[in-house]
Amino acid sequence: MIELAYTRATDAADAIRRAEGEDAKYLGGGTNLVDLMRESVENPSALVDVTGLSAEIEETNDGGLMIGAATRNTAVAEHPAVRTRYPMLTRAIVAGASAQIRNMATVGGNLLQRTRCTYFYDTEGSRCNKRSPGEGCDAIEGFNRIHAILGASPACVATHPSDMCVALAALDAIVHLSSASGERTVALCDLHRLPEDRPDVETVLEPGELITAVQLPASGLAAHSTYRKVRDRSSYAFALVSVAAALALDGDAIADARVALGGVAPKPWRAWRAEEVLRGRPATKATFLQAADAELAHARPLAGNAFKVDLTRRTVAAVLQQLSEEARR
Ligand SMILES: Cc1cc2nc3c(=O)[nH]c(=O)nc-3n(C[C@H](O)[C@H](O)[C@H](O)COP(=O)(O)OP(=O)(O)OC[C@H]3O[C@@H](n4cnc5c(N)ncnc54)[C@H](O)[C@@H]3O)c2cc1C
Ligand code: SF4
């Protein structure tokens, strides 16, 4: 039996106060945190339930949306403004987990869900630098089919598991944070850290810092977007590779593009190099493959996941091809 304090916050300031000075964790839907506690990967002494905080989706003055951190994943996916103006976000969310889990999971919790590396969860038998810094990493020489090909380090090769975050990276989402020292914003693309020599430090959040909202900037491009997830089963499986992309054409040339990748890196991976190749070039399969190649030039596959390089290349090209055909109709 583990002694654990549970309280429910009434607002952001109350949540921050309740989490102060304690080995406390914020509790969203609990769909990841409770599993981690059950496996003794996480052992907080107190849980501060933040599901009573803002769960509103509101229009911003610049024509974007502000999504409260306690909004359930299903509510985001089903919101009419998200479906029509940011379709890649709806598609990414419904590609994840199951309807029951999406009904429970919150936006804040989705952002901070932890890797699905099996060695990370195996507290009894496996070495893991993310769980126990300095211990070693059994994935590097082990079963690493699901692991990273981009952005990994000799300390950790785990991937970030979220589908929703891949779309948020492509959409230039902004994360709103609050703590005892005030409020600040961080670009979603800068929220998660690469592992380098500290895979246990996964984000730029300060201790006790609370996610209060995620802002989607206005974007005409985002209305012409999609998300494709490649996985071992057609449902209830994490991505081997996923692609969130948006494309605008000017005649036969690419006016603008956004591309982000999931399942291949320790964080939602914005494909900046691919986007650079795409802009101003003819919207052809050759261009799409060149863009993917530019991003994948830095791929460092492991013994078990070299297939991800070609799978990513082909998925990026196929998604961009689909968007370009839709733009020409
Ligand atoms: C069987 C199964 C299959 C799944 N499949 C997929 C999938 O295919 N794709 C996918 O993307 N996801 C998948 N998931 C993961 C799921 O999306 C996450 O578990 C969920 O999004 C986490 O949200 P939550 O609100 O339940 O977070 P919680 O479990 O409550 O919390 C997760 C973390 O976020 C922190 N936290 C929560 N809210 C805040 C806040 N406001 N501020 C700061 N910190 C906060 C918590 O302290 C904790 O560290 C799956 C999960 C399960 C169990
Ligand atoms: S890949 Fe990362 S999470 Fe997995 S065992 Fe290695 S250090 Fe741990």
- The DSSP output letter for 79 is -
Q: How far is the CA of 103 from the centre of ligand 1 (A)?
A: 11
Q: Which amino acid residue places its CA nearest to atom 6 of ligand 2?
A: 137
pLDDT at 3: 85
> Is there a contact between 115 and 161 (Cβ–Cβ < 8 Å)?
yes
Residue range 18-41: average pLDDT?
95
State which of 54, 101, 117 you would mutate to test the pocket of ligand 1, scoring each by most atoms of that ligand within 8 A of its C-beta: 101
Q: How far is the CA of 109 from the centre of ligand 1 (A)?
A: 4
Q: What is the pLDDT of residue 236?
A: 86
CA geometry: angle 131, 106, 54, nearest 5 deg: 125
Nearest alpha carbon, ligand 2 atom 2: 156
Residue to mutate (ligand 1; options 22, 27, 113; most atoms within 8 A of CB): 113
Q: Quick one: three-class SS letters along 237-299?
A: CCCCEEEEEEEEEECCEEEEEEEEEECCCCCCEECHHHHHHHCCCECCHHHHHHHHHHHHCCC
Q: Does residue 138 have its Cβ closer than 6 Å to ligand 2?
A: yes
CA 193 to chain centre: 12
Using alpha carbons, list the distances in angstroms from residue 204 to 15, 186, 227, 299: 19, 9, 26, 24
Q: What average pLDDT does range 130-137 have in this prediction?
A: 97
Regarding the beta carbon of 152 and ligand 2, being less than 6 Å apart is answered: no
Amino acid at 126: S
Contact of 136 with 101, CB cutoff 8 Å:
no
Please name every residue paired with 254 in a beta bridge, in sequence order, or none if there are none: 249
Res 88: pLDDT: 98
Ligand 1 centroid vs 70 CA: distance in angstroms? 11
pLDDT in tens, 205-228: 999 999 999 999 999 999 999 999
For residue 21, what pLDDT is reported?
A: 80
Which ligand is in closest contact with the Cα of 125?
2
Quick: pLDDT tens for 239-258. Answer: 999 999 999 999 999 999 99
Residues 73-97: tens digit of each pLDDT: 999 999 999 999 999 999 999 999 9
Q: Which of 313, 310, 269, 311 is nearest to 291 (CA)?
A: 313
Ligand of minimum distance to the alpha carbon of 46: 1
Average pLDDT over residues 151-171: 98
pLDDT (mean) for 105-133:
97
Question: What integer is the mean pLDDT of 115-131?
Answer: 97
Using the predicted structure, report yes or no on whether residue 35 has a pLDDT greater than 90: yes
**Which ligand is in closest contact with the Cα of 74?**
1
- Nearest alpha carbon to residue 270 among 256, 260, 258: 260
